Structure 1
Amino acid sequence: MFASLPARWLALVPAMGALAAMARPAPPLPEAPEAATAARYQSALEGYRRYADDQPIPWKTANEIVLLRGGWQAYAREASNAAGGDDGSTALPPPPTRDRQ
């Protein structure tokens, strides 16, 4: 009685695929005009800007800004408005700007 094992047949499939791939000739390279093949160099650092950290404001000034905005309750109202609640309050004023020296 003849018994064939599937593992033997499955081992032949990759071998046949490798033989078929080696038998094919490589495709020819497309011919391109000289102007199209000229590459232009562009540095990866062309648009680089050096990082400049903002100067921190003194803690007293930061506390005064929070007080002018309405304290922690104003921030809580702002968060609840962003979540969908509306209590009719106006937007918070922007913090004062500092001129760099």
Structure 2
Amino acid sequence: MFHSLSARWLAVFPALAALAAAAQPVPAPAPATGEAATRAPTALSYKSALEGYRPFTDDKPIPWKEANETVRQRGGWKAYAEEAAGGGAADAPAAHQGHTMPMPPAKKEPKP
């Protein structure tokens, strides 16, 4: 099956390593000495993760007509868009100046 001596050792070595690992003695626990031996173990305390839990209370939704009227009074969706952009519509192009690609230098055409 195996044609060389090194291939036989490669097949036998994992089994020998497993036997050697299983033959190791289990170390005994260290004897208690001094103050640690006379002191009683501390009592464990338990605190539930749900101790301060308050169930979700759903607020009463307002009628959709009233919500739409509130949005209209505030300036509609454009007012919300300007608020999210951080100001008026004039500020929007300045906010995106970092997104432009640099232009490559202009090539000089040779004179004929």
**TM-score by shorter chain over 0.5:** yes
By how many angstroms is 1:2 displaced?
6.8
Residues 59 and 14 of structure 1, relative CA distance in 2, 3 Å threshold: same
Could you tell me the TM-score, scaled by structure 2's length? 0.54
The CA deviation at 1:55 is 1.4
Q: 1:78 to 1:9 in 2, by over 3 A?
A: same
Hey, what does 1:48 align to over in structure 2?
53
Cα gap change, 1:15 to 1:81, in 2 (>3 Å): farther
1:15 aligns to 2:19 (yes or no): yes
Aligned length: 82
Distance change >3 Å, CA 19–CA 78, structure 1 → 2: farther
Q: Give unpaired runs (5+ residues) of structure 1.
A: 88-101
**Structure-1-length-normalised TM-score:** 0.59
Greater C-alpha Rg: 2
Structure with more relative contact order (C-alpha pairs < 8 Å, separation 6 or more): 1
Q: Percent identity?
A: 48
- The root-mean-square deviation of aligned C-alpha atoms, in Å, is 3.1
- Structure 2 runs not aligned, ≥5 long: 93-112
